[in-house]
Structure 1
Amino acid sequence: MPEVHIRPASPDDEEPLARLDRDTWSPLHAVTPRPEPPYGPFFTERWGPPDHLVAEYAGRVVGYVRLGFPTPLASNAHVRQIAGLAVAEDARGLGVGRALVRAAVAEARARGARRITLRVLGHNAPARALYASEGFVVEGVQPEEFLVGGAYVDDVMMGRSLV
C-alpha cells in the first residue's frame, strides 16, 4: 500500500491544486460560493506556493494545507494559522488529512511559531474531530457567524501550543 507523502508546493502544482479545490468545494467547510468558470488562479499574491504543503498518494496530488499568519501584525507573528485544508474524495480515510495537519504543525514549529490556530465551521464534525485528535482545543465560538446553504453556522476557533 502506498504511503502519503507531504512536500512543499511548487508553481507546477497550480493546476492540480486548483482542480482539487474546485472538486472538494462543499458547504460543510466553504463560506464562499461554489466556484464557477472562469476560474481564478489557485496561487495568488496573498497565498503562493511557500504557503502550501501538498499531499501525494500513489504519485497523485490528493490534498493540501495552507499555512499563514492570522494577522499582519508584528505582535502576532509568533502564531501561524491553518487557513485551508482539502483532501480529495477518493483519498479520504487514508490518513491524508491527519498527515497534512501534522505537517502543518511541524512546519509552523520549524518557522519559529509558538502557537498554531485555525477556524472551522461548527457543523463540520469530521474536521473538528480530526483537529481535536491532534491536540487542538476550542478557544472560542462566534455563534451563527456565517449563513451557509440557508442555515446559520458557528465559526469555531481552535488552537494549540507548539512549545
Structure 2
Amino acid sequence: MAVAPHLRTAVLDDEDALGRLDRDTWSTLHAVMPRPRPPYEPFFGERFGPRDHLVAERDGRIVGYIRLGFPTPLACNAHVRQILGLAVAEEARGAGVGRALLRAVVAEARRQGARRVTLRVLGHNVPARALYASEGFAVEGVLPGEFLLDGVYVDDVLMGRSL
C-alpha cells in the first residue's frame, strides 16, 4: 500500500520546484495554455502566492500541488472557492496523491468558511473527472467545444460540490 504523502502549505522556497512540476506535467489533457517555453514565468505571482497552494511531498520532494482561490472578486461570491490547478508528478500518479490533495483543499475551503467548492475540467480528462466525481463533485454545466486543442474541440466541464 502506498505511503500517504506529507501535505503542507507552500512556501516561497517552493517556487522553482513547483514551476518545474508544472512544466513537467504539462499536457493538453488538462492545459489550455500553450506549452511553457523559456524564459519561464514565475510560478507565484500577484494573483496566487504560496498561501494559495497545498503541496504534497514524498521523501522531501514535491510530487504534487493544488491551487485554491476565489472564482471571482465579487463579495456576493465570497462563499465559494475554486480549485484553479492540480498537478501530480508522473511517478506519483495512482498512489493517492491527487486524492489526498483534493481532500485537503476541500477541508481548507471549509476551514475558510466556504459553502461550495467548484472547478473546471476538460471533458476528455477522464481520470480527473472520475477522481472529482468520487470525491462528491457533480457536473453542473458543460461548455461544448469550448477549446480547440491539437485540432480537436474539447468541452469545458464545470463541477462543484457543497460543503
Structure 2 residue aligned with 1:48: 49
Q: How do residues 25-44 of structure 1 correspond to structure 2 at under 5 angstroms?
A: 25-44=26-45
Q: How do residues 108-123 of structure 1 correspond to structure 2 at under 5 angstroms?
A: 108-123=109-124
Give a deviation string over 1:51-93, Cα, whole Å, max 9, x none: 1000011221000000000001000000000000000000001
| 3-state SS of paired residue (1:94) | coil
Structure 2 residue aligned with 1:4: 5
Q: CA deviation at 1:151?
A: 0.6
Q: How do residues 3-152 of structure 1 correspond to structure 2 at under 5 angstroms?
A: 3-152=4-153
TM-score calculated relative to the size of structure 1? 0.98
Q: CA deviation at 1:3?
A: 2.6
Q: Which runs of 5+ in 2 are unaligned?
A: none
Runs of 4+ in structure 1 displaced over 6 angstroms? none
Give a deviation string over 1:112-136, Cα, whole Å, max 9, x none: 0000000000000000000000000
Q: Which runs of 5+ in 1 are unaligned?
A: none
Q: CA deviation at 1:139?
A: 0.2
Q: Does structure 2 conserve the Cα–Cα contact (< 8 Å) formed by 1:3 and 1:58?
A: no
Separation in 2 of the partners of 1:91 and 1:83?
Answer: 20
Separation in 2 of the partners of 1:151 and 1:132?
Answer: 24
Report how many aligned residue pairs link the two structures: 162
| 3-state SS of paired residue (2:51) | helix
**Identity across matched positions, percent:** 76
Q: Does structure 2 conserve the Cα–Cα contact (< 8 Å) formed by 1:78 and 1:115?
A: yes
Q: Does structure 1 conserve the Cα–Cα contact (< 8 Å) formed by 2:4 and 2:97?
A: no
Whichever residue aligns with residue 18 of structure 1, its letter is: G
